[in-house]
Amino acid sequence: MKKNESRRSFLKKASLTTAAISASPLLFATSREEKLPLIRSYSNRSYAANDHINLALIGSGIQGIYDTTTALGVTGVQLVAACDLYDGRLDRAKELWGDSIFVTRDYRKILQRKDIDAVIIATPDHWHQKIVIEALKAGKHVYCEKPMVQKHEEGEAIINAQKESGKICQVGSQGMSSLGNEKAKQLYEDGAIGDIVMLDMYNDRYSAEGAWQYPIPPDADSSTIDFDTFLGTAPKVPYELKRFFRWRNYQDYGTGVAGDLFVHAFSTLNHVLSSHGPNRAFATGGLRYWKDGRDVPDVTITLYDYPKTETHAAFNAAFRINFIAGNGGGGGFKLIGTEGEMEVGQNQVTLKRSKLGGGPGGYSLIAYTKETQQKIKDDYTKNELSSRVQSLNTGTTTWQAPSDYKGGHYDHFNNFFTAIREEGSIVQNPTFGLRAAGAALLANESYYKKQPVDWDPTNMKLL
């Protein structure tokens, strides 16, 4: 992408809009906020019973249930099996999707079944690589929850397994396929914010649930839970229900806030910018409040460096997470450029464009006589660099998805199943998934090493 040409194209479109507001989807308000719709169309095709994609769920916990519920909203998909290491979740799967589905504690029994076309893998992070590779080798299409890997060095094997199998492997940062991401990418490539200089991402939470203190069911014990299998390749420890139900709190099984939250942000950022990711990170923080046995921080700040590439200028990204935010909570994701900023969500994009204040104000003129002040002002006015077109196209514009939009999560599964049926492309393949996960996991590398870390975003390796 040639940035100067994109910028000129954007300004040209914007100026035409100013002249004829109703004629263009790129609408910019000079003195007010405009609300514009985002639109997504879907296929109305129906499928015969014998043409359904047979789906199985491996890991029927919180995210697994949300994933499966959304996946079954896509036409022509049916659930035939579910796997989990806690019997209560298998009972819940039958309660949700019928007594006819096959349930098991052993995921290998699912992979052995010839009637299963695709699997959702929503297990703890430390099981992702093993099950993904085995599922691909068994001829199944795979939807793997983010982060694709627990450790960056696990990614290459998944990439190779997918290529060798020829099967579809979609990584589950569900916001990737959203209308918001699509519009943000279009606006960025049109030059809407100029050159990017900063990414500002934050996530504040103020609840036990938001800090991963999930409830432990009363019937959970050694007879209803296969704790030894849950541990897998992780260090052997005594039976402990908190580790099973709150696994995100432990380095042995999860990836902390980086793997849970940063991956979504990097997926969006790398997609919008057509970027391979950052090349350096420095993280700090600590365990400030939720001292419940966890060994991951609940407050973190991580700074990333992005190098200059053909699609973006060199810039910095700041990621801030607070799990004890007394402000009540909230979050944001802003791309800030030399000419504006975009706040990006799955269902909405807000663009704010400003005019750079190049002329002198009262602060810098105070040391000169009134006569000299006027001469300086006249000189700046005569040599003003900004054209009238640029000045006109300032203000705020919001693109909002309609109330009946099915959402980014649905779109991600729709993309996955469409690719299976049509042998098409997906938006988040294993290479993209590793670049997003690798960038996120730099935060953990830096935090525990207490030093900056360097990363090769193209070859996806620590330096």
For residue 387, what pLDDT is reported? Answer: 46
| Widest Cα–Cα separation across the chain | 89
The residues that bridge with 300 in the sheet, in sequence order, are 285, 321
Answer yes or no: are the C-beta atoms of 291 and 298 closer than 8 Å: no
Give the pTM: 0.90
CATH number of the domain that residue 281 is part of: 3.40.50.720
**Residue 98: inside a domain, yes or no?**
yes
**Residue 17: inside a domain, yes or no?**
no
Q: For residue 267, give the amino acid letter.
A: S
**Residue 271: inside a domain, yes or no?**
yes
C-alpha 30/C-alpha 353 separation (Å) is 9
Answer yes or no: are the C-beta atoms of 301 and 288 closer than 8 Å: no
**Residue 244: inside a domain, yes or no?**
no
Task: Give me the number of domains the chain comprises.
Answer: 1
For residue 223, what pLDDT is reported? Answer: 97
The residues that bridge with 330 in the sheet, in sequence order, are 204
Q: For residue 364, give the amino acid letter.
A: S
**Residue 88: inside a domain, yes or no?**
yes
**Residue 388: inside a domain, yes or no?**
no
Q: How far is CA 17 from CA 30, 43, 321, 348, 396, in A?
A: 11, 31, 39, 20, 14
For residue 44, what pLDDT is reported? Answer: 83
76: left (phi over 0), alpha (psi -120 to 50) or beta: left
Q: In terms of residue numbers, what domain contains 271? A: 32-213+256-354+394-463
Residue 186 burial (C-beta neighbours within 10 Å; 0-12, 13-18, 19+): middle
Helix 155-165 to helix 128-137 angle, to the nearest 10 degrees? 10
- The end-to-end CA distance of the chain, in Å, is 28
**Residue 141: inside a domain, yes or no?**
yes
Nearest one of 433, 355, 441, 395 to 161, comparing CA atoms: 433
Q: Provide the residue-wise pLDDT of the chain in tens; the chain has 463 residues.
A: 455 566 555 655 654 344 333 333 333 333 345 667 888 888 888 899 889 999 999 999 999 999 999 999 999 999 999 999 999 999 999 999 999 999 999 999 999 999 999 999 999 999 999 999 999 999 999 999 999 999 999 999 999 999 999 999 999 998 899 999 999 999 999 999 999 999 999 999 999 999 999 999 999 999 999 999 999 999 999 999 999 999 999 999 999 999 999 999 999 999 999 999 999 999 999 999 999 999 999 999 999 999 999 999 999 999 999 999 999 999 999 999 999 999 999 999 999 998 777 778 888 999 999 999 999 888 887 766 544 445 546 789 999 999 899 999 999 999 999 999 998 899 999 999 999 999 999 999 999 999 999 999 999 999 9
**Residue 128: inside a domain, yes or no?**
yes
- In Å, how far from its chain's centre is CA 375? 52
Report H helices in 386-456: 388-392, 408-422, 430-449
